[in-house]
């Protein structure tokens, strides 16, 4: 089959970095091509070049055998390239249909035959009103209405005809409309004559602006929304993307929002879809659904580029895998003829331990004890409905479960960030139910938050300031209210070296770091003070294989030092690899608890899906 996209020797330099170094590849029609690589390997840069967000320094891009020059996303869209970004580009307060149509409506919707009729009608009505009011005579008003309506219809017709004749669409003819409107006004002024007609002219001008300016064109877009919704329904049926076009995007789960993004590209008639780490934000179920959709798309002739750093997913879905490392293409593979270990080694450049190496736990006293804990989420729903669990020193308790079953809120309540409505939390024998976050921290609790950019870091602040976010007020970083600048710097340098935070300088803002290094900053901060209990929520979300290995090793090291570890994760593999005991959360309860040695993927999966719910409460209490 002929390649639909071919990139040859593409090189892209950023100041101080060679992001892509002579990368060549081709994408065949109807194929799912996976790009595998660590964070910063150059996958996203390459795709941004194809999508026109960056331009390459060297190399050629060919689409359907033709050399192309993609300067901006609009060029890419015209060539049938669509991109779904890792961070969705959706407006939460708009409906699905509005989000999908957004960006296309001013060029397409106002300039249709129907909107011509509407615009002419509205203008004629305005002219009639304006004529009657300012001239005081119905006959004059009718005459003005007739003239105005005809003029508008003529203008619109002209624009539409020009648009039909042109390949570039209607956008080019906005200046024509603007110029024509000015000419029309001047002509009207000459015909009607005299300064006393100025009020009329003003009314005319406002009327014309209202019907011809796309951003003011509320009526026509409102009408065309129906056509849009119809097309969206058609598309979602065709590809099995179940979405309600009238729903508000902000109310939809992440997985459905992603479908909206895919629909957005399909609406723009994309043939080549780039999915940039689409599974990073999805639950396992949503990921499976996405894969079904991807198969449906390729089944109907679309081609997909799938960017990921998750080996398992790539092995499952891809027809072909390209591995990038350090901006260079280091290998290609067909999943059925390769293995995860082989790909991981290609990706990282050395042998990677996919299995966490840990000895048997030497278990101590109970550190964290939670009983009957209840809490509400921000919208007032009861998300924790009586959670009982305990964690002992020197063991890892893994809390598995599908995202949104109360894990987030559980961690927040334990760390004092969310009030409990009932039950109790005891840490090292002390009651800390509804204690302030600082008290919890000072008891020796470390917290790796689920959303590192929202809760764990102050992105505009220097790395070093982020390293003392929880301890800045303690000796030796402060004496009374005075920050000890030198001590803080010294600590920052030492710790960032110890935890291998890769940055040119610790005074650079934390937002300059890659995701893996941002997580290392948090780990460095939390592990560099004496702790008894570690609460880690999704500690490896969005990280590459190398960083995951690193974080896992550090977690096990803490456990071996006698720290009690509560690990909350939606990655079943992570839970199974690290935990000594596993608890499964479902709809705000712990529905099952077992020793890690007894756990199987299937068993846990059933519990996560709610199969253990009918069991008696006494039987499911952990331990």
Partner 1 sequence: MAEPGTSPKPTFRHLVTALPRWARLALAAVLLGVILAVSKWLVLVLLVALGLWPLVLLLGLLALAAISARHGGWPWMRDRLTSRLSGLVVPVLSVITALLIGAIILILTDQAVYRAWGEGRVGAGLGAGMANLVRAYAALYQGALGDPIRILGAIGYWLNGDGLQPLLNSVRGPSDTLVQSVPYIFAGLAVALGFRGGLFNIGAEGQIGVGWLAAVLVGMSFSGLPAVIHLPLAIVVGAITAGLWAAVAGFLKARTGAHEVITTIMLNYVVFRLSDWLLCGPLEAVRGTCRTRDILSSAVLPRFLDHPVTLHWGFVLAIAAAAATGWFLFRSTWGFELRTVGANPNAARYGGMNVAKNYVLAMFLSGCLAGLAGVSQGLGITRNIALGFRSGYGFDSIALALLGKSHPVGVVGASLLFGVLRAGASRMQSVAGIPTEIVQIVQSLVIIFIAAPAIIRALYRLRQARRDEAEVVVFSRGWGA
Q: Which residues of this chain interact with partner 1, rule CB under 8 A?
A: 15, 415, 417, 436-438, 441-442, 447, 449, 454-462, 465, 469-470, 472-473, 478, 481-483, 485, 509, 511
- Cβ(395)–Cβ(564) below 8 Å: yes
- Cβ(564)–Cβ(533) below 8 Å: yes
| H-assigned helices in 14-72 | 43-50
Which of the 8 DSSP states describes residue 510?
G
Which residue lies nearer to partner 1 by CB, 285 or 503? Answer: 503
Task: Give per-residue burial for 442-467: e unless 16+ CB within 10 Å, then b.
Answer: ebbbbbbbbebeeebbeeeebbbbbb
CB atoms within 10 A of CB 473: 12
First to last CA, the chain: 58
- The secondary element (H helix, E strand) that includes residue 447 is strand 445-448
Which of the 8 DSSP states describes residue 597?
G
- Cβ(304)–Cβ(32) below 8 Å: yes
- Exposed/middle/buried for 543, CB within 10 Å: 0-12, 13-18, 19+? buried
- Tokens in use for 571? 């990655």
Which residue lies nearer to partner 1 by CB, 82 or 449? Answer: 449
Which residue lies nearer to partner 1 by CB, 256 or 534? Answer: 534
Which residue lies nearer to partner 1 by CB, 178 or 507? Answer: 507
- Cβ(374)–Cβ(385) below 8 Å: yes
Q: Could you tell me which residues are beta bridge partners of residue 10? A: 23
Q: What is the CA radius of gyration of the chain?
A: 30
If we measure between CA atoms, which residue out of 439, 419, 424, 501 comes closest to residue 466?
501
Which residue lies nearer to partner 1 by CB, 429 or 480? Answer: 480
Which residue lies nearer to partner 1 by CB, 94 or 461? Answer: 461
| H-assigned helices in 300-390 | 311-317, 340-348
- Cβ(382)–Cβ(422) below 8 Å: no
Minimum gap (Å) between residue 585 Cβ and partner 1: 22
- Tokens in use for 579? 């935990």
The CA distance from 283 to 314, in Å, is: 16
Q: Are strands 17-28 and 3-14 parallel, antiparallel or unpaired?
A: antiparallel
Minimum gap (Å) between residue 306 Cβ and partner 1: 32
Which residue lies nearer to partner 1 by CB, 284 or 509? Answer: 509
Which residue lies nearer to partner 1 by CB, 15 or 194? Answer: 15
Which residue lies nearer to partner 1 by CB, 15 or 359? Answer: 15
Minimum gap (Å) between residue 93 Cβ and partner 1: 12
Minimum gap (Å) between residue 431 Cβ and partner 1: 18
- Cβ(221)–Cβ(105) below 8 Å: yes
The CA distance from 94 to 183, in Å, is: 37
Which residue lies nearer to partner 1 by CB, 100 or 440? Answer: 440
Minimum gap (Å) between residue 258 Cβ and partner 1: 24
Q: Are strands 482-483 and 328-333 parallel, antiparallel or unpaired?
A: unpaired
- Cβ(140)–Cβ(197) below 8 Å: no
Minimum gap (Å) between residue 486 Cβ and partner 1: 11
If we measure between CA atoms, which residue out of 64, 74, 68, 87 comes closest to residue 10?
68
Phi, psi for 322 (deg, rounded to 5): -115, 130
Minimum gap (Å) between residue 517 Cβ and partner 1: 17
Minimum gap (Å) between residue 437 Cβ and partner 1: 5
Which residue lies nearer to partner 1 by CB, 284 or 437? Answer: 437
Which residue lies nearer to partner 1 by CB, 65 or 481? Answer: 481
The CA distance from 557 to 539, in Å, is: 15
Which residue lies nearer to partner 1 by CB, 81 or 566? Answer: 566
Q: Could you tell me which residues are beta bridge partners of residue 535? A: 447, 566
Which residue lies nearer to partner 1 by CB, 133 or 436? Answer: 436
Minimum gap (Å) between residue 493 Cβ and partner 1: 19
Minimum gap (Å) between residue 226 Cβ and partner 1: 32
- Tokens in use for 608? 């996560």
Minimum gap (Å) between residue 458 Cβ and partner 1: 5
The CA distance from 484 to 475, in Å, is: 9
Minimum gap (Å) between residue 610 Cβ and partner 1: 31
Q: Are strands 382-392 and 366-376 parallel, antiparallel or unpaired?
A: antiparallel
Minimum gap (Å) between residue 389 Cβ and partner 1: 22
Which residue lies nearer to partner 1 by CB, 465 or 574? Answer: 465
Minimum gap (Å) between residue 509 Cβ and partner 1: 6
Q: Are strands 445-448 and 272-276 parallel, antiparallel or unpaired?
A: unpaired
- Tokens in use for 295? 């198969």
Minimum gap (Å) between residue 197 Cβ and partner 1: 29
């Amino acid at each position: 089959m002929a390649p639909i996209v071919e990139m040859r020797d593409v090189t892209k330099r950023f100041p101080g970095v060679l992001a892509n170094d002579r990368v060549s590849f081709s994408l065949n029609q109807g194929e799912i091509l996976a790009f595998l690589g660590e964070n910063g390997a150059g996958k996203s840069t390459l795709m941004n070049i194809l999508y026109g967000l960056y331009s390459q320094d060297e190399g050629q891009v060919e689409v359907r055998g033709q050399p192309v020059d993609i300067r901006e996303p609009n060029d890419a869209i015209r060539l049938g390239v669509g991109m779904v970004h890792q961070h969705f580009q959706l407006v939460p307060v708009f409906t699905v249909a509005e989000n999908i149509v957004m960006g296309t409506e001013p060029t397409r919707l106002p300039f249709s035959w129907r909107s011509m009729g509407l615009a002419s009608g509205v203008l004629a009505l305005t002219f009639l009103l304006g004529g009657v009011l300012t001239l005081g005579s119905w006959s004059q008003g009718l005459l003005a209405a007739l003239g105005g309506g005809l003029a508008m219809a003529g203008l619109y017709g002209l624009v539409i005809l020009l648009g039909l004749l042109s390949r570039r669409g209607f956008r080019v003819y906005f200046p024509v409309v603007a110029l024509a409107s000015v000419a029309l006004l001047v002509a009207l002024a000459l015909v009607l004559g005299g300064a006393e007609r100025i009020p009329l002219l003003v009314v005319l001008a406002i009327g014309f602006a209202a019907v011809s300016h796309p951003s003011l064109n509320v009526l026509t877009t409102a009408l065309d929304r129906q056509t849009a919704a119809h097309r969206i329904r058609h598309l979602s049926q065709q590809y099995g993307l179940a979405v309600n076009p009238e729903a508000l995007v902000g109310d939809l789960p992440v997985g459905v929002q992603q479908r909206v993004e895919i629909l957005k590209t399909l609406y723009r008639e994309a043939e080549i879809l780039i999915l940039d780490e689409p599974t990073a934000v999805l639950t396992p179920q949503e990921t499976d659904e996405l894969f079904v959709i991807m198969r449906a798309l390729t089944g109907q002739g679309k081609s997909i580029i799938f960017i990921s750093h998750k080996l398992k997913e790539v092995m499952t879905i891809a027809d072909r895998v390209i591995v990038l490392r350090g901006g260079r293409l280091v290998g290609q593979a067909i999943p059925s003829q390769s293995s995860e270990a082989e790909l991981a080694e290609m990706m990282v450049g050395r042998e990677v331990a996919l299995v966490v190496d840990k000895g048997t736990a030497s278990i101590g006293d109970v550190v964290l004890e939670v009983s009957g804990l209840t809490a509400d989420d921000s919208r007032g729903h009861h998300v924790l409905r009586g959670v009982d669990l305990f964690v002992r020193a020197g063991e890892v308790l893994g809390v598995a479960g599908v995202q949104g079953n109360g894990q987030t809120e559980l961690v927040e309540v334990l760390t004092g960030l969310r009030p409990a409505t009932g039950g109790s939390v005891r840490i090292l024998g002390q009651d800390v139910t509804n204690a302030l976050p600082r008290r919890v921290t000072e008891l020796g609790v470390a917290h790796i938050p689920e959303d590192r950019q929202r809760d764990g870091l102050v992105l505009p602040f220097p790395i070093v300031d982020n390293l003392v976010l929880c301890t800045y007020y303690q000796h030796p970083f402060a004496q009374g209210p005075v920050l000890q600048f030198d001590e803080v710097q010294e600590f920052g340098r030492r710790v960032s070296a110890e935890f291998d935070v890769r940055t040119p300088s610790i005074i650079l803002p934390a937002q300059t770091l890659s995701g893996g290094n941002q997580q290392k900053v948090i780990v460095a901060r939390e592990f560099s003070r004496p702790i008894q209990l570690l609460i880690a929520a999704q500690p490896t979300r969005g990280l590459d294989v190398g960083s995951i290995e690193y974080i896992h090793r550090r977690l096990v090291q803490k456990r071996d030092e006698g720290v009690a570890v509560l690990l909350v994760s939606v990655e079943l593999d992570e839970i199974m690899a690290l935990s000594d005991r596993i608890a499964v959360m479902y709809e705000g309860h712990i529905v099952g608890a077992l020793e890690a040695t007894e756990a199987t993927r299937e068993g846990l999966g059933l519990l996560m899906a709610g199969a253990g719910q009918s069991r008696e409460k006494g039987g499911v209490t952990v331990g």
